[in-house]
Structure 1
């Protein structure tokens, strides 16, 4: 369910503070065949940016408004700064190269040498990753062809493996 909404274009830069950029246009369309007969189709002509001059690209229509999300971005930046400051004060600061915030305990190995033992050690390098056969690679002899929908010259479409659910196709 949706409604048709077309917002005035808005700037992506701050006037007199940043270089001019292209404007953004937002067009929201209603669902197809909606009961309120809201607009669900929109026709427009797109010119690739590489074929436009800088003057054409940065031209701003008379109804262009300011960037509407500046307050939201400012709030996010303030929250991020506050959380970063809290993290730095709670663990005594962070090092630039290494995160030493996890617990480390001394461990003596069989040779009597002291080693550091971390709480969350990842898989060892000796543990090899088990490679599973690729079910969708067309060069594989065990390819599951019934999942391949269409084959083109440069790509193909395959259905995902798994149970069929409502709206699967």
Structure 2
């Protein structure tokens, strides 16, 4: 398989139309449409959205947010990390490396990553090297988060 190219998605109405093709479109928790609409200012605004095209069709997408250590509730000592949200691959393109390519792209920032597995996705995240966070429910925030650390990072969870 050829190398898959992850691109930063422009924040515009064309991207909204592309998002409507995804299975989870319309499900509030997983849809990035609302996030996108809130961020539409102009085509060159700082977009948290990334995707992979197959030809001219958007087939995989994710949102990736950098969280400043001031707001860190997961790592000790507090540090900057990435929060990977709403990764989705169109059903016809699943199991072909698109999801892995998005996760590998996020890992390339060399920061710890936190995500919350969706239904039936924990096996995928485990294969990507993510591990469960186990600590008291107050800190868990009911999210059941998974985390990944760059090589050499040994910080402990709070």
Same fold (TM over 0.5): no
Higher RCO, Cα 8 Å, sep 6+: 2
**TM-score normalised by structure 2 residue count:** 0.16
Question: Which protein has the larger Cα radius of gyration, Structure 1 or Structure 2?
Answer: 1
Hey, which of these two has a bigger chunk of strand by percent? 2
Hey, which of these two has a bigger chunk of helix by percent? 2
